[in-house]
Amino acid sequence: NTSDQFKGQDLIPRCLPVEDYDLEDFDPSTPPRNPQEYLRQVQLEAAKCPDFVVKRQTMKVLLSICQPAPDGYSPSLKWQQIQVANFSAVRQSVVKHRAHWQAHTLDQNVMMPKVEDDEDVKNEEMGCSSRGVCPPLEPSGTTPNTR
């Protein structure tokens, strides 16, 4: 099952449901015919990418020829400390949220609308009747339901 290889990605959770598929029936050289095929193609391409890449230095940089930045152009020590503190806070938040979501199972009863139901979803969002009759737009460009 190809979906098993994507479950280990803890920083990139699956946001869109993708149906299971057989690799024998899938031809990545042809353009996708529908959103499901496009998402399958994205998954397969992502699976081929390494988790991280290290670039080797291909050019020697001589630091002695670089002039220091004039006074006032380099970031102040206070600014640098604020950036380090902000980075640390974001990193701690990621660790906290990762631990939280790993301890919880995702709600399996969420039903995403099917691709072919796009008119129904649009009608529901715009406050249209089942016959597709939508309320008139207000001067602000919104319907009464989308304010």
Q: Per residue in 79-121, pLDDT tens?
A: 999 999 999 999 999 999 988 888 877 667 666 666 666 666 6
| Domain-embedded: residue 63 | no
| Domain-embedded: residue 29 | yes
Give the pLDDT of residue 46. Answer: 82
| Domain-embedded: residue 75 | no
| Domain-embedded: residue 115 | no
Residue 135 CB partners (closer than 8 Å, separation 6+): 126, 127, 128, 143, 144, 145
Q: How far apart, in whole angstroms, are the C-alpha atoms of residue 128 and residue 125?
A: 8
Query: How many independent structural domains does the chain possess?
Result: 1
Q: How far apart, in whole angstroms, are the C-alpha atoms of residue 86 and residue 69?
A: 25
| Domain-embedded: residue 119 | no
| Domain-embedded: residue 93 | no
Give the pLDDT of residue 6. Answer: 46
| Domain-embedded: residue 33 | yes
Q: Which domain holds residue 14?
A: 1-49
